[in-house]
């Protein structure tokens, strides 16, 4: 027999050669030192591997100390769930509800919490205390969760903390560059007197802000009441309870406020998110108006388009181009002029005066309350929603298969996924909102909110895939995963469309899927190689 | 534990005796956890998998054939579960059997293999193992930790029996490279180790 190869040596040692072949190898080894050496090395390597793999250097984790009796009820996760609910209740009962009541007494009568929180609430005197309270509670919840998640990665956590603190110190130590903006803090009010001119941008914080002079740059304000009587050559960007523009704005007006009144002139566009918007008779907007508002009255002149979603909309003035309106109620008065097309979509038939001058017959779509099960469009829309979710899920499968699988798998652990889902559903937007209000963190806050929305939408993907697995089994492969996703999403779509129960099912699916995604991402935080190498 | 004692214990577990189930678990949990730890990427994966495997064991205990060794059956259930977890996390298959068979292997130098065994600790072997492709890592663990036969490995990994040898040999080569790389990546440790 000639020299044998490594494969033959391995098969010989593992007893996989037939008797005659094995005998040949045995004889050859006796006569050939080279092959004997290789056989010895391969055999010894087997022992080496066995010893390395059998090493009992890692004790069994505490949570595996007891035998699982059934699908064990996760007390820890139930506690997390309770903690999340408790945190939410504390926020509501201890902070938000009293604040809302106090605000109501003080004359803030709007019922929409979000509006209060981000618009008028931002300028309430007690905001500092509120911010602190909310921040402490929300931060404590997140910190507790983060600490739990990273409990085995203290080293990594410490390094990250040092890096973040280092960056913060560097930022503090670095002198801030001279910006082309003048920053004013009202005491508590601020007035730019008539005759005075600010050559740069003007950023103002104050209770009452009055601009009688001129601003050659942008005007950015965070105040309760803002009145612009002078001239602003740039944009007016305003977070305020009330904004009144009596003067002239050379750029755009962008506002998030409780009310916006324009009696002067805006050369460009108006972007408005407010509870009440009035374009007075003398007011002129030469660009377009776009926004969402509670009640809107357009009595003045608009040069461009109107694109608006509103509770009620009343048009008495003139519109130079098209009007695209989505509203509960629309009134077009006798003095109204709309040069372009008028499109209306809403639940009530609009009141259009016969004297109103419209460029073309209005296009009116009346929406029924609730879904119209008799229309094909309703079902087609469901199919579209299913298709969009399916394509999104496909992207997850192809781009991040491991995360997709882990998140789907984590959904099976309903207790822990619901626990984390509730926590992150509540805490993430609060934190992001607080970060946004600090302005400095606006980008971070908005990015967080965007990721949050993506995560919320993705939730149905993971739960759908799990539902599909229950129906089709867990066969391996992209095709099987795709089929599971398609069927599971279809089932969810049907369940979510059910009257009354559908909303609750959607909430459940969202929380479960969000929790699953959080758990899956947590898994991915752990370095792959290091984890086993430590063993 | 003697065969008779094990049979008695299993009968008690089947009859619903919680103490017997606890005893069976205590005897085997560490070994199964270690197997999971060797093949799955993270400790948390291994913890979850261990619990899930024992849930399966309890469900399937009725189908256990007492003529076969219990440990072998237990490892079979565990390895099937782990392999299922691993392959469902992948989108691309490992290289097809044919492709792998055609890949040339460098002829080894016995002295280099033995030198590798002398220089590298078990810890480094496990670190190297973690860097192998799933199927290679699984094959080595099934063979050298769970002591499975070629037939059982072929059945678990869903490959032809004749391919198991190729798979194991290929995995050994990959492991040698991975282990050598751990030392190459830490030259100071090597020199310190050589000096000591």
Do both A341 and A383 map to the same domain? no
Q: Answer yes or no: is A158 within a domain.
A: no
**Mean pLDDT comparison of A94-103, A456-465, B79-88, highest-scoring range:** A456-465
Q: Do A398 and B91 touch (CB under 8 A)?
A: yes
With residue B105 as reference, give the H or E element that holds it.
none
**Predicted local confidence at residue B171, as pLDDT:** 92
**Predicted local confidence at residue A508, as pLDDT:** 94
Do both B14 and B73 map to the same domain? yes
Give contacts of B140 with chain A, Cβ < 8 Å.
49, 53
Percent over 90 (pLDDT), chain B: 29
Q: What chain A residue is nearest to B151 in terms of C-alpha separation?
A: A16
Q: CA A90 from chain center: how many Å?
A: 23
pLDDT band at A96 (very low <50, low <70, confident <90, very high): low
Do both B158 and B135 map to the same domain? yes
Point out the domain boundary residue: B89, B107, B137: B89
Do both A385 and A510 map to the same domain? yes
Structure confidence by residue, pLDDT tens digits, A458-514? 999 999 999 998 888 777 677 788 888 999 999 999 999 888 888 899 999 999 999
> What Rg value do the Cα atoms of chain B yield, rounded?
19
Best mutation site among B43, B53, B149 for testing chain A: the one with the most A CBs within 10 Å? B43
Q: What chain B residue is nearest to A409 in terms of C-alpha separation?
A: B85
Do both B83 and B161 map to the same domain? no
B25–chain A Cβ distance below 8 A for any pair:
yes
Do both A289 and A413 map to the same domain? no
Do both A407 and A342 map to the same domain? no
User: What CATH number does the domain containing B58 carry?
Assistant: 1.10.1740.10
Point out the domain boundary residue: B25, B55, B89: B89
Point out the domain boundary residue: A334, A367, A400: A367
Cα dihedral angle (A83, A86, A90, A92), rounded to 10 degrees?
120
Structure confidence by residue, pLDDT tens digits, B17-38? 888 888 999 899 989 999 999 9
Q: Answer yes or no: is A104 within a domain.
A: no
Point out the domain boundary residue: A349, A367, A385: A367
Q: Answer yes or no: is A77 within a domain.
A: no
**Predicted local confidence at residue B42, as pLDDT:** 82
Q: Do B43 and A528 touch (CB under 8 A)?
A: no
A524–chain B Cβ distance below 8 A for any pair:
no
Quick check: A163 pLDDT over 80? no
**Of A38, A37, A52, A30, residue with least CA distance to A10:** A38
Point out the domain boundary residue: B54, B73, B89: B89
- Chain B: closest CA distance from residue A486 (Å): 17
With beta carbons less than 8 A apart as the criterion, state whether A345 and A325 touch: yes
Do both B44 and B123 map to the same domain? no
CA distance A114 to B39: 49
Higher-confidence position of B169 and A173: B169
Interface of A with B in 49-78 (CB under 8 A): 49-61, 63-64, 66-72
Do both A326 and A454 map to the same domain? no
Quick check: A429 pLDDT over 80? yes
A402–chain B Cβ distance below 8 A for any pair:
yes
Averaged pLDDT for residues A317-342 = 91
**Predicted local confidence at residue A130, as pLDDT:** 46
**Predicted local confidence at residue A206, as pLDDT:** 80
CA distance A311 to A288: 19
Q: Do A532 and B145 touch (CB under 8 A)?
A: no
A173–chain B Cβ distance below 8 A for any pair:
no
Q: Do A64 and B126 touch (CB under 8 A)?
A: no
Do both A382 and A512 map to the same domain? yes
Strands A231-232 and A219-228: unpaired
Averaged pLDDT for residues A228-255 = 91
**Predicted local confidence at residue A75, as pLDDT:** 52
Do both B78 and B115 map to the same domain? no
User: What CATH number does the domain containing B117 carry?
Assistant: 1.10.10.10
Structure confidence by residue, pLDDT tens digits, A306-318? 988 888 999 999 9
Do both A525 and A383 map to the same domain? yes
Q: Do B141 and A53 touch (CB under 8 A)?
A: yes
Percent over 70 (pLDDT), chain A: 74
Q: Answer yes or no: is A216 within a domain.
A: no
Do both A348 and A436 map to the same domain? no
Of residues B122, B165, B168, nearest to A55 (C-beta) = B122
Of residues B26, B125, B150, nearest to A14 (C-beta) = B150
B88–chain A Cβ distance below 8 A for any pair:
yes
ipTM: 0.83
State chain A's mean pLDDT as an integer.
79
Do both B101 and B69 map to the same domain? no
Averaged pLDDT for residues A232-261 = 90
Do both B135 and B63 map to the same domain? no
Do both A337 and A453 map to the same domain? no
- Chain B: closest CA distance from residue A56 (Å): 8
Structure confidence by residue, pLDDT tens digits, A377-405? 788 888 888 888 998 898 888 888 878 88
**Predicted local confidence at residue B17, as pLDDT:** 85
Do both A397 and A325 map to the same domain? no
With residue A231 as reference, give the H or E element that holds it.
strand A231-232
Do both B185 and B102 map to the same domain? yes
**Predicted local confidence at residue A240, as pLDDT:** 83
Q: What chain B residue is nearest to A71 in terms of C-alpha separation?
A: B55
Do both B76 and B119 map to the same domain? no
Quick check: A5 pLDDT over 70? yes
Do both A302 and A425 map to the same domain? no
State chain B's mean pLDDT as an integer.
81
Averaged pLDDT for residues B120-124 = 82
**Predicted local confidence at residue A110, as pLDDT:** 42
User: How many domains does the structure of chain A reveal?
Assistant: 3
Q: Which residues pair with A240 in a beta bridge?
A: A223, A257
Do both A380 and A347 map to the same domain? no
Structure confidence by residue, pLDDT tens digits, A260-269? 999 999 999 9
Averaged pLDDT for residues B115-129 = 82
Do both B122 and B152 map to the same domain? yes
User: How many domains does the structure of chain B reveal?
Assistant: 2
Best mutation site among A53, A400, A473, A479 for testing chain B: the one with the most B CBs within 10 Å? A53
Domain of residue B84, residue span: 3-89
A391–chain B Cβ distance below 8 A for any pair:
no
Do both B69 and B121 map to the same domain? no
**Of A464, A432, A470, A430, residue with least CA distance to A450:** A432
Do both B77 and B108 map to the same domain? no
Domain of residue A39, residue span: 6-54
Averaged pLDDT for residues A70-93 = 57
Q: Answer yes or no: is A126 within a domain.
A: no
CA distance A428 to A412: 23
pLDDT band at B137 (very low <50, low <70, confident <90, very high): very high
Give contacts of B58 with chain A, Cβ < 8 Å.
68
DSSP B185: T
Q: Do B18 and A69 touch (CB under 8 A)?
A: yes
- How many Å from the N-terminal Cα to the C-terminal Cα in chain B? 42
């Amino acid at each position: 027999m000639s020299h044998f190869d490594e494969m033959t040596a391995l098969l010989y040692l593992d007893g996989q050669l037939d008797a005659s072949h094995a005998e040949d190898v045995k004889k050859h080894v006796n006569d050939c030192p080279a092959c004997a050496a290789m056989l010895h090395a391969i055999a010894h390597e087997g022992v080496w591997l066995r010893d390395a793999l059998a090493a009992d250097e890692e004790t069994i984790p505490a949570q595996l100390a007891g035998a699982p009796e059934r699908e064990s009820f996760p007390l820890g996760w139930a506690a997390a769930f309770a903690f999340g609910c408790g945190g939410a209740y504390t926020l509501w009962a201890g902070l938000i509800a009293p604040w809302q009541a106090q605000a109501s007494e003080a004359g803030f009568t709007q019922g929409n919490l979000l509006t209060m929180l981000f618009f008028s609430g931002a300028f309430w005197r007690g905001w500092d205390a509120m911010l602190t309270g909310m921040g402490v509670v929300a931060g404590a919840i997140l910190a507790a969760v983060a600490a739990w998640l990273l409990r085995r990665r203290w080293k990594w956590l410490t390094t990250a903390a040092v890096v973040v603190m280092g960056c913060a110190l560097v930022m503090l130590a670095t002198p801030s560059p001279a910006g082309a903006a003048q920053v004013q803090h009202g005491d508590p009010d601020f007035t730019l007197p008539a005759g005075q001119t600010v050559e740069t941008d003007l950023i103002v914080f104050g209770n009452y802000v009055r601009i009688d002079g001129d601003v050659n740059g942008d005007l950015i304000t965070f105040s309760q009441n803002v009145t612009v009587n002078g001239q602003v050559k740039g944009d007016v960007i305003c977070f305020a309870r009330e904004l009144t523009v009596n003067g002239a704005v050379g750029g755009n007006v962008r506002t998030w406020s409780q009310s916006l009144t324009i009696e002067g002139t805006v050369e460009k566009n108006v972007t408005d998110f407010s509870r009440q918007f009035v374009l007075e008779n003398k007011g002129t907007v030469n660009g377009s108006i776009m926004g969402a508002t509670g009640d809107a009255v357009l009595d003045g002149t608009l040069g461009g388009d109107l694109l608006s979603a509103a509770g009620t909309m009343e048009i008495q003035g003139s519109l130079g181009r098209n009007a695209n309106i989505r509203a509960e109620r629309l009134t077009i008065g006798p003095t109204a002029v709309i040069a372009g097309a008028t499109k209306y979509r809403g639940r009530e038939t609009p009141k259009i005066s016969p004297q109103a001058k419209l460029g073309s017959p209005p296009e009116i779509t009346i929406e029924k309350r609730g879904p119209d099960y008799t229309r094909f469009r309703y079902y087609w829309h469901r199919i579209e929603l299913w298709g969009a979710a399916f394509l999104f899920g496909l992207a997850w499968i192809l781009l991040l298969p491991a995360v997709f699988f882990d998140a789907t798998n984590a959904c099976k652990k309903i207790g822990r996924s619901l626990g984390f889902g509730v926590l992150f559903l509540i805490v993430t937007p609060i934190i992001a909102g607080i970060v946004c209000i600090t302005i400095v963190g606006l980008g971070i806050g908005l990015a967080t909110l965007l990721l949050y929305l993506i995560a919320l939408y993705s939730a149905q993907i993971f739960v759908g895939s799990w539902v599909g697995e229950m129906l089709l089994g867990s066969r391996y492969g992209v095709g099987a995963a795709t089929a599971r996703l398609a069927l599971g999403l279809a089932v969810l779509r049907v369940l979510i469309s059910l009257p009354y129960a559908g909303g609750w099912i959607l909430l459940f699916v969202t929380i479960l899927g969000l929790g699953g995604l959080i758990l899956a991402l947590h898994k991915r935080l752990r370095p792959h190689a290091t984890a086993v190498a430590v063993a | 534990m003697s065969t008779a004692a094990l049979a008695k214990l299993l009968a008690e577990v089947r009859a619903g005796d919680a103490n017997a189930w606890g005893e069976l678990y205590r005897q085997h949990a560490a070994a199964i956890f270690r197997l999971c730890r060797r093949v799955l990427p993270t400790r948390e994966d291994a913890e979850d998998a261990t619990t899930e495997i024992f849930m399966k064991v309890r469900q399937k205990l009725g189908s256990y054939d007492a003529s076969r060794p219990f440990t072998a059956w237990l490892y079979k259930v565990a390895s099937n579960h782990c392999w299922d977890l691993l392959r469902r996390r992948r989108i691309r298959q490992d290289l097809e059997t044919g492709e792998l068979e055609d890949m040339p292997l460098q002829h080894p130098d016995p002295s280099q293999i033995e030198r590798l065994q002398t220089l590298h600790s078990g810890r480094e072997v496990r670190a190297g193992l973690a860097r192998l492709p799933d199927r290679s890592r699984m094959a080595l663990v099934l063979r050298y930790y769970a002591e499975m036969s070629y037939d059982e490995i072929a059945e678990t990994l869903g490959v032809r029996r004749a391919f198991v040898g190729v798979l194991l040999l290929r995995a050994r080569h990959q492991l040698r490279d991975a282990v050598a790389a751990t030392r190459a990546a830490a030259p100071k440790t090597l020199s310190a180790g050589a000096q000591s």
